[in-house]
Structure 1
Amino acid sequence: MKPVYNFQRRLMNDIDLIYNNSFGLAFQWKRDNGHNHNKVQLVFRDTGLFVTKEELLQFSKNIRRSIKHYQMCGSCPKKETCRSILVESPVPQITFAMNTEELGNVQDLVEGTLFQLNLDNYIDSLFKD
């Protein structure tokens, strides 16, 4: 167990956490790591996406479109285990298969990340003047 803890501690020293929930997390790499600081690392399930804010906005739209299109899953008895909902990622070649719970969790993760990014930009703009 100790190596995992040390890895987690080291990782938390290398990132600026933006938002997290029980499904995943979003962060930016700290400035001294040589990563692109205009991008957000979004990690959920077994997936990591390194995206711009514009790509995150597109992903949010894709999630909302999938929620609207797959409302029929609401009364299905298999909705928790069936991954029949397809969500286009911000990368056109990748589509995620999710169930209704995962879809709600990824929506919260993306929307929470966008909210926090916008809030941070707003606060930064107040102190620039």
Structure 2
Amino acid sequence: MEDVNVIYKTDIGISFNWKRCNAKHLKTINIIINDIALHLTKEELLHFANTINKTVKKENACLHCNEPCKVILLETPIPQLTLVKKYNDMLTLKHLIDGTIFQLGLNNLLKTIL
């Protein structure tokens, strides 16, 4: 773990930047969710967060039904990749993505101030 700068960490995943990498991946945010690794730009991360928020709002009715939670198809910024999640897993993924965005903003603010 000494080769990475951890941005945010939860029970299901971690987000980080590489300390040393080629210029192509310098601004990439790496997110590992269980056994999936996503390499996203900040714009793609924000788009993904927006998609998750819309999906959570749409699927919120799942909490009010008496049936076992169905699976939800979650589009990613990568057109060829769709995640299959249960509602509760989607909430923990939302926490990871929102925490990552918050921490990136805080880090940016601190760099500006200092």
Scaled by the length of structure 1, what TM-score is found? 0.81
| 1:8-27 pair list within 5 angstroms | 12-27=1-16
Gaps of 5+ in 1: 1-11
Corresponding residue of 1:111:
98
Q: Residues 76 and 58 (structure 1 numbering): CA distance in 2 closer, same or farther, change over 3 Å?
A: farther
Q: Tell whether the 8 Å contact from 1:24 to 1:43 is kept in structure 2 after alignment.
A: yes
Corresponding residue of 1:94:
81
Offset at residue 34 of structure 1 (A): 2.8
Corresponding residue of 1:56:
45
| 1:116-127 pair list within 5 angstroms | 116-127=103-114
Corresponding residue of 1:67:
56
Aligned residues: 112
Q: Tell whether the 8 Å contact from 1:42 to 1:50 is kept in structure 2 after alignment.
A: yes
Greater fraction helix: 1
Offset at residue 95 of structure 1 (A): 1.2
**Which of 67, 72, 81 is residue 77 of structure 1 equivalent to?**
67
Q: State, as a whole percentage, how many aligned pairs show the same letter.
A: 31
Which letter does structure 2 place at the counterpart of 1:64? Answer: N
**Equivalents in 1 of 2:33, 2:61: separation in Å?**
25
Moved over 2 A (4+): 32-35
Scaled by the length of structure 2, what TM-score is found? 0.91
Tell me the secondary structure at the aligned position of residue 114 of structure 1.
Answer: helix
**Equivalents in 2 of 1:119, 1:112: separation in Å?**
10
Which has the greater radius of gyration?
1
